[in-house]
Amino acid sequence: MTVIDQTIYEIFRRGSRTYFYSSLFFPPSVKADVFTLYSFVRTADDLVDSVPQRETEFHAFVRDYRAVLGATSSGDPVIDGFVDLQRRCGFEQAWVDAFLRSMEMDLSVREYRTMNDLRGYLHGSAEVVGLMMSRLMGLDDASHPAACRLGRAMQYINFVRDIAEDAGMGRIYMPREELDRFGLDSLDEGFLRRHPSAFRAFIHAQCDRYRSWHSAGERGYRFIPWRMRLPIMTASDMYGWTARQIERDPFVIFNRKVRPSVPRIVSHLAANTVRPTE
């Protein structure tokens, strides 16, 4: 069994409750690789999402990654491990470039005008991670459209959940055209509480969009062997749980970060072990 580097393990453990506890149940043959992938994308994301943003460190991270592509070790287990993984699993360079490009957008882009504009960001920040996971697990390329949609759906419900947090950083992922559609001039809590019906309608529409993408992504489960499907299905289900909590009370996003507890994740995973496979 491959031993997971402690630095990589801690980045994953601190970075995502849902993904971390679900990923503990990947078979040993791929678990270390999943941790390596997540530590790379989490590190880049943390650099651009910190307050204040660590722009210089992000660009250094990208430079180090590109240097390791040229066969120079960086001494950083996150970067060195990822490049080794990219080579072994055959991640396309365009996927990694798209991811880094979306992360760089977070340094300067504060809002998106249209859903098409946001879709460009979503491709790099989420869809290509789904593609990397598909390749990591050795799935047929026919799984790629579903992998993209599942990654996109999970990222989008994160945007909905984090509206208040992102607004505090001066960043709005919800497209301006979508706000205009519901007559929302702002995502400021005070404004939204004065227009509760419009805000609820807006949130319900975003959850509907999430569910549409999520359902399309779930149709790709048939490509995944059961032992690897279990943690993915569990993480995906927890994002569905998050969407339901927000839809039930949209203003909850201003009171707390909606995320499942560890017992909920583990108990749901146990329940999934007896779910029909098809």
Give the Å distances, CA to CA, from 27 to 66, 108, 137, 196, 265.
30, 39, 10, 46, 18
Q: Which CATH class is domain 6-272?
A: mainly alpha
Q: b or e along 183-209 (b: 16 or more beta carbons within 10 Å of the residue's beta carbon)?
A: ebeebebeebeebeebbbbbbeebbeb
The structure tokens 């909920």 sit at: 264
Task: Report yes or no: 32 and 244 within 8 Å, Cβ to Cβ.
Answer: no
Higher-confidence position of 5 and 250: 250
Q: Which two tokens stand for residue 230?
A: 């279990």
Higher-confidence position of 1 and 151: 151
pLDDT confidence tier of residue 1, bands split at 50, 70 and 90: very low
Task: Report yes or no: 183 and 120 within 8 Å, Cβ to Cβ.
Answer: no
Per-residue pLDDT averaged across 210-224, rounded? 96
Q: Please state whether the peptide bond connecting residue 263 to the residue before it is cis, i.e. omega within 30 degrees of 0.
A: no
User: For 263-277, what is each residue's pLDDT tens digit?
Assistant: 999 898 888 887 655
Q: How many CA atoms lie within 13 A of 275 on its CB side?
A: 18
Residue 168: per-residue pLDDT: 82
At 3, give phi and psi (nearest 5°): -85, 135
Task: Report yes or no: 37 and 82 within 8 Å, Cβ to Cβ.
Answer: yes
User: For 62-116, what is each residue's pLDDT tens digit?
Assistant: 999 999 998 878 889 999 999 999 999 999 999 999 999 999 999 999 999 999 9
Residue 114: per-residue pLDDT: 96
User: For 47-57, what is each residue's pLDDT tens digit?
Assistant: 998 878 899 99
Dist CA 260 CA 75 (whole Å): 35
Cβ burial, residue 220 (10 Å; 0-12/13-18/19+): buried
